[in-house]
């Protein structure tokens, strides 16, 4: 179970202060797949960064399986939290080969002086790559920089779940891909998440994806959760409905702006 307790994140201070996430409470059950939508600057990515430990919250606590992980640095959290970002270049080591990248993903945390790649591992990698169904199993010794964006992101999905993490963070991980590859990666991700029963947070710009994927959806606006739906409500939700919900909040904002004394 992942818990965010009254988490606030503000960047800069004084007159430049920008509140990216404001006093958020969120409880995510084990095995739940949560999709997060919201306008630009709503704080979606900030939430993932806070969970990953890229920066500390200004206030509040983050708990994983009941333990406070707020002070734990990013590389230590990575032992329990997996992450895939939008840029397919950021999830892999480009000058290293497919097999070498997979070997890197075999461990979360401390590394030893044992050889990283063995013949046995290579054949295991080949089997795993076959599951991706993108033909990477024949390109084990190919530098990752020579793969296409879709192939790289597919590899990243496999790498992020190779050692199943307690929480998987997906930060618009299909946004940089063409529609065909985006669908392929979404399907692949769902398949892995379901099979491994991973607790997952997926940030997306694509409302249809947000509705179709997962069992809970939150909508964010200006650093706050403005709607939280799951179960029957989410199953019945449609894109126009979500747009309408969005619009209502934006109108409310504008109204507030107009009313405020000049």
Contact by Cβ (8 Å): 176, 86: yes
- Taking CB under 8 A as the binding criterion, the range among 75-83, 126-134, 229-237, 241-249 that sits at the site for other proteins is 75-83
**159 vs 129: CA distance, rounded Å:** 10
CA 232 to chain centre: 24
- Taking CB under 8 A as the binding criterion, the range among 95-103, 127-135, 176-184, 191-199 that sits at the site for other proteins is 95-103
Q: Is 242 left (phi over 0), alpha (psi -120 to 50) or beta?
A: alpha
For residues 132 to 161, the per-residue mask of contacts with other proteins, x marking binding by CB under 8 A and - elsewhere, is -------x--xx--x------------xx-
Instruction: Assess 119 for contact with other proteins (CB under 8 A).
Output: no
CA 75 to chain centre: 16
Three-state SS at 78:
coil
Give the shortest CB-230-to-other proteins separation in angstroms: 28
- Measured from the CB atom, is 93 or 226 closer to other proteins? 93
Instruction: Assess 115 for contact with other proteins (CB under 8 A).
Output: yes
Give the shortest CB-160-to-other proteins separation in angstroms: 8
Three-state SS at 151:
helix
CA proximity to 176, closest of 67, 55, 89: 89
For residues 43 to 62, the per-residue mask of contacts with other proteins, x marking binding by CB under 8 A and - elsewhere, is ---------x----------
Give the shortest CB-205-to-other proteins separation in angstroms: 21
CA proximity to 26, closest of 40, 47, 41: 47
Contact by Cβ (8 Å): 230, 54: no
Give the shortest CB-169-to-other proteins separation in angstroms: 9
Instruction: Assess 239 for contact with other proteins (CB under 8 A).
Output: no
Instruction: Assess 104 for contact with other proteins (CB under 8 A).
Output: yes
Give the shortest CB-145-to-other proteins separation in angstroms: 9
Three-state SS at 147:
coil
Helix (H) / strand (E) element for 75: namely helix 74-77
- Taking CB under 8 A as the binding criterion, the range among 8-16, 20-28, 71-79, 185-193 that sits at the site for other proteins is 71-79
Among 108, 122, 131, 222, binds other proteins (CB under 8 A): 108
Q: Is 210 left (phi over 0), alpha (psi -120 to 50) or beta?
A: alpha
- Measured from the CB atom, is 107 or 244 closer to other proteins? 107
Residues 171-210 that bind other proteins (CB under 8 A): none
Among 10, 63, 116, 190, binds other proteins (CB under 8 A): 116
CA proximity to 78, closest of 90, 69, 87: 69
**53 vs 224: CA distance, rounded Å:** 19
Contact by Cβ (8 Å): 70, 56: yes
Instruction: Assess 94 for contact with other proteins (CB under 8 A).
Output: yes
Q: Which residues bind other proteins (CB under 8 A)?
A: 52, 73-76, 78-79, 82-83, 85, 89-97, 100, 103-105, 107-117, 139, 142-143, 146, 159-160
């Amino acid at each position: 179970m992942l818990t965010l307790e009254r988490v606030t994140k503000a960047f800069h201070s004084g007159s430049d202060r920008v509140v990216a996430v404001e006093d958020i409470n969120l409880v995510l059950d084990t095995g739940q797949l949560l999709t997060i939508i919201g306008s630009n600057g709503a704080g979606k990515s900030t939430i993932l960064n806070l969970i990953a430990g890229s920066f500390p919250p200004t206030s509040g606590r983050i708990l994983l399986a009941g333990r406070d992980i707020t002070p734990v640095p990013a590389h230590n959290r990575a032992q329990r939290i997996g992450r895939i970002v939008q840029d397919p270049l950021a999830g892999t080591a480009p000058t290293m080969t497919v097999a070498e990248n997979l070997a890197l993903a075999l461990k979360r945390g401390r590394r030893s002086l044992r050889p990283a790649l063995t013949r046995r591992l290579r054949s295991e990698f080949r089997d795993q790559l076959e599951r991706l169904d993108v033909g990477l199993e024949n390109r084990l010794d190919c530098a990752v920089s020579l793969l296409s964006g879709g192939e790289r992101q597919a590899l990243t999905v496999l790498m992020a779940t190779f050692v199943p993490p307690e929480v998987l963070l997906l930060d618009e991980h299909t946004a940089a891909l063409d529609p065909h590859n985006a669908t392929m990666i979404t399907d692949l991700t769902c398949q892995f998440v379901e099979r491994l029963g991973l607790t997952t947070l997926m940030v997306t710009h694509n409302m249809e994806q947000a509705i179709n994927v997962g069992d809970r959806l939150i909508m964010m606006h200006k650093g706050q959760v403005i709607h939280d739906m799951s179960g029957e409500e989410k199953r019945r939700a449609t894109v126009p409905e979500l747009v309408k919900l969005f619009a209502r909040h934006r109108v409310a904002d504008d109204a507030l702006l107009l009313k405020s004394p000049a």
